[in-house]
Copies of this chain bind each other. A is one copy, B any other.
Amino acid sequence: MAATFAQPHAHGRLFSTSPLPKPTKNLRSPFTVRMSLQETGPSIAVVGVTGAVGQEFLSVLSDRDFPYRSIKMLASKRSAGKQMTFEDRNYTVEELTADSFDGVDIALFSAGGSISKQFGPAAVEKGAIVVDNSSAFRMVDGVPLVIPEVNPQAMRGIKVGMGKGALIANPNCSTIICLMAATPLHQRAKVLRMVVSTYQAASGAGAAAMEELELQTRKVLEGKPPTCNIFSQQSDLDVKVTATCIRVPVMRAHAESVNLQFEKPLDEDTAREILKNAPGVVVIDDRASNHFPTPLEVSNKDDVAVGRIRQDLSQEGNHGLDIFVCGDQIRKGAALNAVQIAEMLL
C-alpha cells in the first residue's frame, strides 16, 4: 500500500460534503458474542482476510454490529484452508477465485492493487458491490472515491439490492486522515494550497511490515544488524497538494503536519471550534499541559485527532494555519472507512 497522496481529480471529488453523525466510540472487543445473530443482512466477502487490514475489517464489522447473512473469508492459495473463529463461528479461509463472488452482496478488498484489478471487475460482474482498499481504482473515472464524512453523495444510488454490482474506492490512508481534518476547514474558508509532510506507520506497508519493524527493533537492541526485506526506503509524492511522505518507526498510526492556505481568513480559535464539531474528529490541543495528538493515542481508535492548531504567521491576514493530525492507519485509514462505506450501501 503505497503512500500516494490526493491526486488532482480526486481532490475536487473529496473536497465537498454533508456531515455524518459523530460515530460512537468503539470498545475494541472485536470477538465478543453478537447481541443477536442476524440472518437477514447482506452476504459479505472479505478479500485478503489474513492481512492487517483484512483482520481489521472483521474487528470493525464486529465493533459496529454490522448485519450480515454470511461472510466468506478469502485469501491467497497460501492461506487457503486456515481455520478462523469470528463471532463464535468457525470459518475456513477459502482461496480467492473468480467464482468466489457468487451470491456475494458486498466484497471488502484489501489484498493489493493487482488482486483488486484481477478480481474486482469479476466480483462486480457477479453483482457484488466492491469496496476496494487498494490504489487500483482510485483514479478511474466513474469509480467513487469516498470518505463518508466528506463526500457521501459521490456514491449516491449505489445500494445493496439494486440488482447490479459496482466499484467504490477507499482513498489512501494518509489522504483520509488528512482530509478528515482539512475538509471542515475547507468548507468554511476554502483551501487553496496544502503543504503536507507525513509520519507514516509501519502498518501502511502491511502486517508483514509490522512484524519486520518489531523484528528489526529486537535485532538492533541485541546489537545485531537488522534484516530488511520490506523496508528499505519508502517514498512518494504528488503535485496537487505538495506532499512529502515519510515512513517512521511507529506501529499503526499515521501523523501528518499540514500547512493550509485559505482563500478566506480563518483564525485559529474558529478553526478549533469547527474541528471540535467535525464528525469523526477529536481536538487534542492543550498547550498548557503540552498535550497534543500522538500516534500512540489514536491507535485502535476510530476518530482522527487534530491539534497544534496555529495561525501560520508566514501568511498574511489569517489566511494560513498549521495543524498536526494523527489517525489509526488501519482503522479510519482503511478498514473503518470501508465499513462505513458498506453501511451506506444498506
A interface vs B, CB < 8 Å?
A: 193-195, 197, 199, 214, 217-218, 221, 232-233, 235, 237, 239-242, 244, 246, 248-250, 255, 257, 259, 290-292, 294, 308, 310, 312-315, 320, 322, 324
Report chain B residues within 8 Å CB of A240. Answer: 313-314
Say which residue of B221, B241, B259 sits within 8 Å of A221 (CB atoms). B221
- A237 vs B218: C-alpha distance in the bound complex, in angstroms? 34
Could you give 19 example pairs across A and B, Cβ below 8 Å?
A: A195-B314, A197-B197, A197-B244, A199-B246, A235-B290, A239-B314, A240-B313, A240-B314, A241-B314, A242-B315, A242-B320, A244-B257, A244-B308, A244-B324, A246-B257, A248-B248, A248-B249, A248-B250, A249-B249
- A255 vs B197: C-alpha distance in the bound complex, in angstroms? 11
Report chain B residues within 8 Å CB of A242. Answer: 259, 312-315, 320, 322
How many protomers of this protein does the assembly include?
A: 2
With A195-B259, A324-B246 given, is the CB distance from A232 to B310 under 8 Å?
Answer: no
- Asked if B232 and A290 make an inter-chain contact with CB atoms under 8 angstroms apart, the answer reads yes
Say which residue of B197, B241, B310 sits within 8 Å of A257 (CB atoms). B197
Report chain B residues within 8 Å CB of A235. Answer: 290, 292, 308
12 additional contacts (CB under 8 A) given A195-B195, A240-B314: A195-B314, A197-B197, A199-B246, A217-B217, A218-B221, A233-B294, A237-B310, A242-B259, A242-B313, A242-B314, A244-B259, A248-B249
